[in-house]
């Protein structure tokens, strides 16, 4: 069954999925520009940039006591870093970190808790630089890491 219900939600299946409202063609219309963008840089060059950015970004967060959750041979453009905490991490701590990073520093991050560990996701993209990772690490430091619960 589709993930989006329609205006006739109360009518049950299948009618609740018959009309899902406005169809947004934006994603389809962006495909030619997206392919041109990839062609401009070259897919292999983009992937290499992203891998290198994440690999080099580890050092920025390691200065705060964060540890990568995988060895370099096991990640590409994305990696989770385990942040040190005082006491067990909680989903509320991850949400707090996410909001404070944005509200106070205008740095957008992904943070989650897995098996009691507070994880920060590093994601290398062609539009990011090592300076972006350094800025994120500086914001974490300003918020009191390492060791903030």
Q: What is the pLDDT of residues 98-132, one digit of tens each?
A: 899 999 999 999 999 998 899 999 999 999 999 99
pLDDT at 2 over 90: no
Domain assignment of residue 105, yes or no: yes
pLDDT at 149 over 60: no
Q: Which pLDDT score is estimated for 103?
A: 95
Domain assignment of residue 109, yes or no: yes
- What's the structural domain count of the chain? 1
Q: Decide if 60 contacts 130 (C-beta within 8 A).
A: yes
Q: What is the pLDDT of residues 39-97, one digit of tens each?
A: 999 999 999 999 999 999 999 999 999 999 998 889 889 999 999 988 788 888 888 88
Neighbours of 9 (CB within 10 A): 10
Domain assignment of residue 117, yes or no: yes
């Amino acid at each position: 069954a589709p993930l989006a219900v329609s205006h006739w939600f109360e009518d049950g299946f299948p009618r609740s999925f018959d009309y899902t409202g406005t169809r947004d063609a934006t994603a389809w219309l962006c495909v030619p520009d997206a392919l041109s963008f990839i062609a401009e840089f070259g897919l292999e060059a983009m992937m290499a940039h992203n891998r290198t950015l994440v690999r080099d970004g580890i050092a920025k967060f390691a200065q705060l006591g964060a540890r990568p959750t995988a060895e370099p041979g096991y990640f590409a453009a994305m990696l989770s870093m385990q942040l040190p905490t005082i006491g067990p991490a909680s989903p509320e701590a991850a949400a707090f970190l996410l909001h404070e990073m944005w509200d106070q520093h205008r740095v957008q991050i992904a943070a989650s808790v897995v098996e009691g560990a507070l994880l920060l996701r590093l994601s290398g993209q062609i539009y990011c630089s090592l300076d972006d990772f350094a800025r994120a690490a500086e914001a974490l430091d300003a918020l009191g890491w390492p060791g903030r619960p």
